[in-house]
Amino acid sequence: MKNKKMWAVFVFFVFVLSLNGILNAITENFGDSKNQTAVVSATKEAPLLFVILLFVILGPFLEEIIFRKILITELSQIIDKRIAISFSISSFVLIRVHQPIDIVNYLPVAVVFTYAYLKSGQHLSFSLSIHVMNNTFAILFPLLINKKIQVDCYAQSAWIFVLNYFLFFAFFSCRSALTCVR
């Protein structure tokens, strides 16, 4: 059962990455979203460890609690679940949108994160794993693509991968620790 869940996370993650790649290729002429530009800018201006903690660990954790746990699980006890899901997805997307084309990039991701959360029986570990991996690649790819990057930055990027996969397996190994968040 544990292996099935890990494979499911991996498949979802590949789906999200593929979808992001296709949508980014389609919307390339419109430039990066302000959200992505801010993330890339942070990697250049702040220590990489701080960027990792903020965008790869803390950000996804807080967002999953707010947009999935609170806006879906808790809110659906007060209003219709479909409305709570729609509100959660809309809120997740709208805080990132600075121009209408940004919706094309963020709506599918919000839907996939939400679907993963619902499909897992509303366990944060599933959507959080996908969210962490998505943000890891959102930071890592611009670092690797930028030709002006120093060699030590590649070594630091390797730590992002190590940290990401450590977190990925920790979520599934320490399931009892995550039940308090459920």
- Read off the pLDDT of residues 11-26 as tens digits, 9 standing for 90 and up: 666 666 666 666 566 6
Stated pTM of the model: 0.67
Please tell me the predicted confidence (pLDDT) of residue 96.
Answer: 86
Instruction: Say yes or no to pLDDT of 165 above 80.
Output: no
Choose between 91 and 172: higher pLDDT: 91
Long-range Cβ contacts of 77-82 (<8 Å, 24+ apart): none
Long-range Cβ contacts of 48-53 (<8 Å, 24+ apart): 48/153, 48/156, 48/157, 48/160, 49/156, 51/139, 52/139, 52/159, 52/160, 52/163
Band of the pLDDT at 29, cuts 50, 70, 90?
low
Please tell me the predicted confidence (pLDDT) of residue 93.
Answer: 94
Please tell me the predicted confidence (pLDDT) of residue 81.
Answer: 97
CA–CA separation, 99 vs 117, rounded Å?
A: 27
Band of the pLDDT at 5, cuts 50, 70, 90?
low
For the stretch 32-72, pLDDT in tens is 555 556 566 666 677 778 888 888 899 999 999 999 999 99
- Please state the rounded mean pLDDT for residues 107-125: 90
